[in-house]
Amino acid sequence: MLKHYQLNALSDADINQLISRNTDATHAIQDAVLQIIDEVRQDGDASLKSFAAKFDKVALEKLYLDKEEIEELAMTITRDQQRALEIAFQNIHKFHSTQLRRERTVETMPGVKCWREVRPIEKVGLYIPGGSAVLPSTLLMLGVPARIAGCKEIVVCSPPQQSGKINGFVAYCLQLLKIERIYLAGGAQAIAAMAFGTASVPKVDKIFGPGNQFVTKAKSVIQGMTNVSIDMPAGPSEVLVIADETANPAFVAADLLAQAEHGPDSQAVLVATSATIIEAVNGKLEEQLAILPRAEIAKMAIANSYAIQVADLQEAMRFSNSYAPEHLILETDQWENLTRHISNAGSVFLGHLTPESAGDYASGTNHTLPTSGYARSYSGVSVDSFVKKITFQHISAEGLQQIGSTVEILAELEGLHAHKNAVTIRK
């Protein structure tokens, strides 16, 4: 079960080691990713088909499904399943639709007006993970804000199933989003395809989506070697649960396992105010693991996880801010007093009845979030992620008289006389 540490017995070096995750110290992942990227750049579609055969165990005749094939697959799911996806779509749309606002014009001096206008990123690429769990919810989380932002072209890549197609849930989400084509490519090769373009897969301006360590590394490498940007480093998933004596151990265990079942490289951290809580949660973990279909995957993630015993909730918050979790759950009656102390977290779940899985699927907030400590400097995906904000300014004759001498003086002191002349010539 969870390894048990007492925070006051750990050195700073111990803590730094505990909070670091998904490192690539030997550069093995980076080397493999660079090779994949190079093959996709050189061989395009042929390399994508080769990687599909190697990694997905499927021989692809073509690298995409079109509208008719998507419609056929969407009809294979039940009406209850369709309705659940529709409710998730509606809640996600309702939450994100408030994020697109027009800013007011500011007159910084008489006759000098400045403002910003929003423009959508024209071509975006959405990566939808496959592997052991297919995530239609991720397609909604990325596709909905892309649609609200007004992106002209939305390119979707996802690994093919053994059938050489996608499942009906992803297909139905494509219909909800009015996306008529999906590309059958996964892993680092999909990221490379969207970054450089192939005969089948269009080149995009920005790439979105979570994935394993290879996908995350490919995104960071691509951003460094091209003019294609990324949403954030979003690698293997993680949760940190803060629990005190008011917490229900069964709820805490369920939340930890909900994260652990994502994959063996996921991490679930418990920060508790007593050893009694940790022991109780470990007991519930054993009970719940026994009936989980993905128990073997969850066990590997739990082995990669731990519990920290702290003196009080304030100490718990300090550790959490150092860890900077993707998901933070406050399973305590005191959650209202703690929220103001949160400085580093991707998304926060408050109280005993707010499971992280609600945010993963249907509460409305986005589940594409920064991992591996990047919550210190990145936000989760939102409509803002899919737009650019361009500044404008207009200066009247009065404004030029007001601001002209200031610009002339500043330009002259920097030795940029052409800058000065661009003002002087207009007076």
Residue 229 annotated as lining a ligand binding site: no
Query: What's the pLDDT band for 427 if we cut at 50, 70, 90?
Result: confident
Report the pLDDT value the prediction gives residue 26, as an integer from 0 to 100.
85
Mean pLDDT over all residues of the chain?
96
Contact predicate 283/249, CB 8 Å? yes
pLDDT tens, residue by residue, 155-182: 999 999 999 999 999 999 999 999 999 9
Contact predicate 296/259, CB 8 Å? no
* Distance of alpha carbon 382 from alpha carbon 384, whole angstroms: 5
Q: Quick one: which of 155, 265, 145 has its CA closest to 217? A: 265
- Give the sign of the dihedral formed by CA 56, CA 60, CA 63, CA 66: negative
Residue 90 annotated as lining a ligand binding site: no
Contact predicate 10/323, CB 8 Å? no
Region of poorest pLDDT, from 20-29, 65-74, 159-168: 20-29
The share of the chain scoring above pLDDT 70, in percent, equals 99
* Distance of alpha carbon 58 from alpha carbon 163, whole angstroms: 7
Report the pLDDT value the prediction gives residue 35, as an integer from 0 to 100.
98
pLDDT tens, residue by residue, 229-243: 999 988 889 999 999
Residue 96 annotated as lining a ligand binding site: no
C-alpha dihedral, 76 to 81 to 87 to 92, nearest 10°: -70
Residue 212 annotated as lining a ligand binding site: yes
Q: Quick one: which of 190, 215, 213, 214 has its CA closest to 203? A: 190
pLDDT tens, residue by residue, 254-277: 999 999 999 999 999 999 999 999
The single-letter code of the amino acid at 315 is E
The single-letter code of the amino acid at 412 is E
Residues that are catalytic: 326-327
Report the pLDDT value the prediction gives residue 21, as an integer from 0 to 100.
85
* pLDDT (average), residues 279-305: 96
* Distance of alpha carbon 85 from alpha carbon 362, whole angstroms: 8
Residue 262 annotated as lining a ligand binding site: yes
Residue 93 annotated as lining a ligand binding site: no
Q: How many CB atoms lie within 10 A of CB 315?
A: 16
Query: What's the pLDDT band for 133 if we cut at 50, 70, 90?
Result: low
Residue 405: C-alpha distances to residues 28, 70, 401, 412, 418 (Å)? 58, 63, 8, 10, 14
Residue 414 annotated as lining a ligand binding site: yes
Contact predicate 374/232, CB 8 Å? yes
Whether 69 shows a pLDDT value over 70: the answer reads yes
Residue 127 annotated as lining a ligand binding site: yes
* Distance of alpha carbon 223 from alpha carbon 123, whole angstroms: 15
* pLDDT (average), residues 137-158: 98
Q: What are phi and psi of 175, to 5 degrees?
A: -65, -45
* pLDDT (average), residues 293-320: 97
Query: What's the pLDDT band for 22 if we cut at 50, 70, 90?
Result: confident
Report the pLDDT value the prediction gives residue 334, as an integer from 0 to 100.
97
Query: What are the structure tokens assigned to 347, written together?
Result: 């998304």
Could you give all domains of the chain from N- to C-terminal order, each with its CATH number?
Answer: 28-108+121-230 (3.40.50.1980), 236-376 (3.40.50.1980), 396-424 (no CATH)
Report the pLDDT value the prediction gives residue 131, as an integer from 0 to 100.
66
Residue 48: C-alpha distances to residues 56, 211, 316 (Å)? 11, 17, 46
Whether 2 shows a pLDDT value over 90: the answer reads yes
pLDDT tens, residue by residue, 170-225: 999 999 999 999 999 999 999 999 999 999 999 999 999 998 889 999 999 999 99
The share of the chain scoring above pLDDT 90, in percent, equals 94
Edge-to-edge strands of the sheet including 64-65? 64-65, 182-184, 153-158, 123-127, 206-208, 229-230
Whether 25 shows a pLDDT value over 80: the answer reads no
Residue 312 annotated as lining a ligand binding site: no
